[in-house]
Amino acid sequence: MLELWLIRHGETTWNAEKRIQGQSNSQLSDLGIKQAKSLAPRLKDIDFDYVYASDLDRATHTARLALPGAEPMLDKRLREIHFGVLEGKCHAEFNDTEAKLYAFYKEDPYERRIEGGECWRDLGDRIESWLKELPKEGKAVAFSHGGTIRSALFRLIGYPENYEWTAFFANTGITRILIDEGLVTLITVNDHAHIEGLTN
């Protein structure tokens, strides 16, 4: 049986500014660093056999703060969905062309792509290829991104890509899953008790 922990990165400067991140690099904010460090006491007694992380800075930085001394295996498939030409922008900064592009995408984000980006189905296929390569036994943790964790859950439990999911994954939220010969059991989803009360 595999026990899989999926953990979102800490808050970034772009999170705080409400900028679209996607696969662009944005560094952890001061609060994000505190959030990542607050994971360490929760994880220190867990003997992980495998430690993975997205190769984007915000995920690798979170991993190294949460598990000091560990060297995560970096995998591009754990990256966030790519938002193409809109990355780095706030919605309020969209020009007319960008606003129309975003509106077109939002009509069917599961099949439509922003120029240079991915649709949700692309992300699902990408994360599914990673899931299929996971070991069958042991404990694994992956530091990743909100959209990626959502897609991983959907692929594991068989939800369609366009399922209306309104839950939000908090920064450094922990999702734990047991996978035993195809049987998937959700233990916790978005557990972020460790950051309650944290402020800048």
Choice among 9, 61, 145, 194 that is catalytic: 9
Q: Residue 87: phi, psi to the nearest 5? A: -65, 140
Strands of the sheet containing 138-144, edge to edge, are 73-74, 50-53, 138-144, 2-8, 174-180, 183-191
Which parts of the chain are beta strand (E)? 2-8, 50-53, 73-74, 138-144, 174-180, 183-191
Q: Which helix (H) or strand (E) holds 128?
A: helix 120-132
Residue 194 catalytic? no
Residue 80 catalytic? yes
Q: Which helix (H) or strand (E) holds 119?
A: none
Q: How far is CA 105 from the centre of its chain?
A: 21
Q: Distance between CA 51 and CA 74 in Å, rounded?
A: 9
Choice among 3, 11, 61, 80 that is catalytic: 80
Instruction: Fill in the DSSP letter of residue 28.
Output: B
Place of tokens 């450094």: 172
Q: At what angle do helices 57-66 and 30-43 cross, to 10 degrees?
A: 40
Residues labelled as active-site residues: 9, 80
